[in-house]
Amino acid sequence: MTTTAGEWWRGAVIYQIYPRSYQDSNGDGVGDLKGITARLAHIAKLGADAVWISPFFTSPMKDFGYDVSDYCDVDPMFGTLADFDALMDQAGRLGLRVMIDLVLSHTSDKHPWFVESRQSRTNPRANWYVWADPKPDGTPPNNWLSVFGGSSWAWDSRREQYYLHNFLTSQPDLNLHEPAVQDALLDVARFWLKRGVHGFRLDTINFYFADTYLRDNPALPKELRNDSIAPSVNPYNHQLHLFDKNQPENLDFLRRFRAELEPYGAAAVGEVGDAQRGLEIMAEYTSGGDKVQMCYPFELLQPRRLTAAAAVETFARMDRAAPDAWPCWAYSNHDVVRHVTRWGLTDAAARAYTLLLLCLRGSVCLYEGEELGLPEAALAFEDLQDPYGIEFWPEFKGRDGCRTPMVWESAPGGGFSTAKPWLPVPAEHLPLSVAAQDNAPGSMLNHYRGALRLRRAHPALVTGSLEAMAATGEVLSFLRRDGADVLFCAFNLGAEPARIALPAGAWAPLGTDLGTVAEISGNTVALGPWQVCLARQRT
């Protein structure tokens, strides 16, 4: 299946930028839009198709931009709308599409909508947020818990009611059961589409609606708990989240959202935050061609290393849920420990997993610094900025370790800023800088560049079908097919040598310049630890 211009997103490689940490252009220690513009050439040289920029909207920054107080303006910390327009122009010159991060499930408590809503129970926006009366004893209306710890209900003395917040108390949840709220959010999308963006990353897409009856969530048995969404020390994991998210009404809203995208040829990728049903929800939200184009679940963002058997089980579940669902896979992002550290990967293992990610069926998100092989930064408590980490320290150290500034140079400070950066630049990151790796043929950066070139050269890897996935011990293998372009891919995801047989037919080796790719000899391949076999069927 070859992609069309209207389906540019299918199989695209999307590079995530965390704007606070990419490049500071004005010497205040915080990254900004002008800094991003100056560094877009790096992303184009890497071979990515698009960038996703995390929130840069006006915000009190209690959750670093994911608490929006004005959806249609740029926070002065990051620049101006004119700076954004200049970024768009430069991206266009470099052949990069631009996606921006929309946070539609909640706002900041400083947003004018919430400021008005909390004034009374009768004002025009009284029903724009999820408000509820207390129980007779004054306690919250139900047992729902916040992802960031504690009850997800906060008391407001003006209305003498509780409001829902799935995250910080300063992030009240919008009530999308209210049609006017949906209309207002679609207006926001139109504002940015008219400004030229090519799509959106939709934060917490399955949190848009809560149960209208506010029913209690049931307990989740200990053996079924999964810490992919919240750390194990957080009681959020003790519930099966049936009623505070994942509501069926979301499907109709996503259809409305998709209808706004279509005239612009724009696309959306949704973040599905659910530890039990993430794949199934992704399938619901992306199947049928009338909702969002892509979602990424948390299966590859798990604390546990992806094994061959787990990959087979993941794709089997996805196929059962909806064969036409389109995933967007990621190993790392701004919310999880960098995967090199999280999975304890050696250099060889990291290279094998890079090739696997870029050979899977679906689109791909790469997180800034991933292409350098950056490990998680170890920060002292006094350096923390993330309220999540401060709350659960030391058992959970928060998200700052994956958000430290990008390292462009190997000198102290990494070329990020002329001032003290908002988070420290770890000394162990400096030898991995872009400057240090750029012209080093065997570097991790050049491994990523080569892997992206390989992907682009083969339609089977971009949009083709995935067939015959199998786990043989620690070896994961599958076929990718797009017409006459048929590839065999096998990955030894273990530290022991293995031998595999090639499928019937004649095969030519691919990607042998990528270092970790094994040579083909006859109809079998000997794979060393963390080695990969890539082969194209001869016609």
Residues 6+ apart with CB under 8 A from 66: 55, 59, 103, 167, 171, 203
Question: Helix crossing, 81-93 with 33-46: angle to 10°?
Answer: 20
Q: How confident is the model at residue 348 (pLDDT cuts 50, 70, 90)?
A: very high
The separation between the first and the last C-alpha atoms of the chain, rounded to the nearest angstrom, is 18
Residue 104 carries which DSSP code?
-
Q: How confident is the model at residue 2 (pLDDT cuts 50, 70, 90)?
A: very low
Tens of pLDDT, residues 235-262:
999 999 999 999 999 999 999 999 999 9
**Which residue in the block uniquely carries the two structure tokens 């909508």?**
113
| Protein fold of 5-107+179-453 | TIM Barrel (3.20.20)
Tens of pLDDT, residues 409-433:
999 999 999 999 999 999 999 999 9
The answer to whether 269 and 363 have CB atoms below 8 angstroms apart is yes
Distance, in Å, from the CA atom of 270 to the CA atom of 282, rounded to the nearest integer, reads: 8
| Protein fold of 465-537 | Immunoglobulin-like (2.60.40)
Residue 490 φ then ψ, to 5°: -140, 140
pLDDT of residue 165: 98
- Which three-class secondary structure state does DSSP give residue 450? helix
Distance, in Å, from the CA atom of 151 to the CA atom of 313, rounded to the nearest integer, reads: 34
The answer to whether 514 and 527 have CB atoms below 8 angstroms apart is no
**Which residue in the block uniquely carries the two structure tokens 């599958």?**
478
Distance, in Å, from the CA atom of 141 to the CA atom of 133, rounded to the nearest integer, reads: 7
Up-side HSE of residue 329: CA atoms within 13 Å toward CB?
Answer: 22
* Angle subtended at Cα 398 by Cα 393 and Cα 401, rounded to the nearest 5 degrees: 120
Using alpha carbons, select from 117, 107, 33 the residue that is nearest to residue 66. Answer: 107
Question: What number is the average pLDDT over the span 93-110?
Answer: 98
* pLDDT score of 382 more than 90: yes
Token digits for 423? Answer: 């988070």
* pLDDT score of 27 more than 70: yes
* pLDDT score of 1 more than 90: no
pLDDT of residue 229: 74
Tens of pLDDT, residues 62-90:
999 999 999 999 999 999 999 999 999 99
Tens of pLDDT, residues 169-196:
999 999 999 999 999 999 999 999 999 9
Question: What number is the average pLDDT over the span 217-244?
Answer: 89
Going from N- to C-terminal start, the domains of the chain cover: 5-107+179-453, 465-537
pLDDT of residue 230: 77
pLDDT of residue 501: 93
pLDDT of residue 156: 98
* pLDDT score of 513 more than 50: yes
* pLDDT score of 3 more than 60: no
Distance, in Å, from the CA atom of 516 to the CA atom of 346, rounded to the nearest integer, reads: 12
* pLDDT score of 526 more than 70: yes
Distance, in Å, from the CA atom of 282 to the CA atom of 29, rounded to the nearest integer, reads: 37
DSSP 179-200: HHHHHHHHHHHHHHHHTT--EE
**Mean pLDDT score across all residues of the chain:** 95
Distance, in Å, from the CA atom of 379 to the CA atom of 372, rounded to the nearest integer, reads: 19
Q: How far is CA 228 from the centre of its chain?
A: 13
Tens of pLDDT, residues 138-168:
999 999 999 999 999 999 999 999 999 999 9
**Which residue in the block uniquely carries the two structure tokens 């200049």?**
86
Question: What number is the average pLDDT over the span 308-329?
Answer: 92
Q: How far is CA 226 from the centre of its chain?
A: 18
pLDDT of residue 512: 82
Distance, in Å, from the CA atom of 519 to the CA atom of 35, rounded to the nearest integer, reads: 42
- Which three-class secondary structure state does DSSP give residue 25? coil
The DSSP bridge partners found for residue 489 are 478, 534
Up-side HSE of residue 89: CA atoms within 13 Å toward CB?
Answer: 7
Distance, in Å, from the CA atom of 327 to the CA atom of 301, rounded to the nearest integer, reads: 13
